[in-house]
Amino acid sequence: MTVDDPLYRRHSVPVRGGEICVGVWGDDGPLVVLVHGITSSHMAWALVGPELSRDHRVVGIDLRGRGGSRDLPAPYGMRKHAADVAAVVEAYGGGPAVLVGHSMGGWVIAETARLYPLVASRLVLVDGGAPLPVPPGLDPSGDDNQIAEAVLKAVGPAYARLSMTFPDREAYRNMWRAHPSFGEWSAAIESYVDYDLIGSEPALRPACRLDAALRDARDLYAFPGVTPAALPSPAVFLRAERGMLNDETPFFAAGYATEWLPGVVERTVAGVNHYTITLGPVGAAAVAAAVRERVTP
């Protein structure tokens, strides 16, 4: 069940500068708001949304500069995304809502909870949200080339594709089929990949704006002055056992999240990587279970 799910539809929500695009699954139950990663879209939740819609009202956001929200203007950054998340929660009843964030989305929902404490009842951080170690030589005031190099090392081909064009959809699918994290192609992955393309053949390109990814990356690192801080809402951190490229080095080492986010409950999801923790059945089930555990009395 992905974009063919009869309960799935797209809406637009007014925010500062225009309208933000959201995907909605389900009509009834507690509100869950899903926030994707740095170069992604709400279709990263193509498995999680339908599963949670059985007993929740689920809203997945395209952050400004990505997907259907590509044309929302700058500024970017976690504070701006947090304001957009708060506006979406308000549009769907005012909350408090369970906020779920994958990768950079973890930083977004953490900032949302800190700036808008009435918006979030609980947080589910999915392999994201704890400040990253600063790469050697990276200065918070550095130029975009410095930031780009750091992001490329952290995110790999997912970031490199933002400067590429593709002659047709199949070429773009083939690029993702070759990605080491996607050993088994699925309808959910294909929906995620197809939704990402804009433009016309033979010059299709990813929807994520490069300048948005570069600006947002500045907020992800533990630069001087960033210190461990507890979250104002109960939170669970789901850690993928494997890394960005399905390698044995995870994106977050065991215990790292609890060092930077005191009080968070950290769990390792075995057998998944940074992508399949949402786009694979095992990871999607773990995310859905964490949401249900945290909202069921």
Residue range 165-179, pLDDT digits in tens:
999 999 999 999 999
Residue 295 has pLDDT above 70, yes or no: no
The pTM (predicted TM-score) of the whole model is: 0.95
**CATH class given for the domain over 8-295:** alpha beta
Average pLDDT of the segment spanning 55-73: 98
Domain range list for the chain: 8-295
Asked if residue 33 lies in contact with residue 47, where contact means CB atoms within 8 angstroms, the answer is: no
Q: How far apart are CA 289 and CA 180, in angstroms?
A: 26
Q: What is the mean predicted confidence (pLDDT) over 216-220?
A: 91
Both tokens assigned to 228: 């461990």
**Any residues with CB less than 8 A from the CB of 18 and at least 6 apart, and which?**
71, 72, 73
Q: What is the pLDDT of residues 25-37, one digit of tens each?
A: 999 999 999 999 9
What is the distance between the alpha carbons of residues 261 and 15, in angstroms, rounded to a whole number?
29
Other C-beta atoms closer than 10 Å to the C-beta of 147 total 21
pLDDT, tens only, 125-145: 999 999 999 887 787 777 777
**Of 114-123, 128-137, 222-231, 262-271, minimum mean pLDDT range:** 128-137
The per-residue pLDDT for 2 is: 47
On the question of pLDDT at 297 being above 50, the answer is no
CA geometry: angle 233, 234, 236, nearest 5 deg? 125
DSSP letter at 221 equals: B
In this structure, are residues 69 and 62 in contact, taking their beta carbons and an 8 Å threshold?
yes
Q: What pLDDT sits at residue 1?
A: 39
Determine the Cα angle at 175 with ends 64 and 188, to 5°.
65
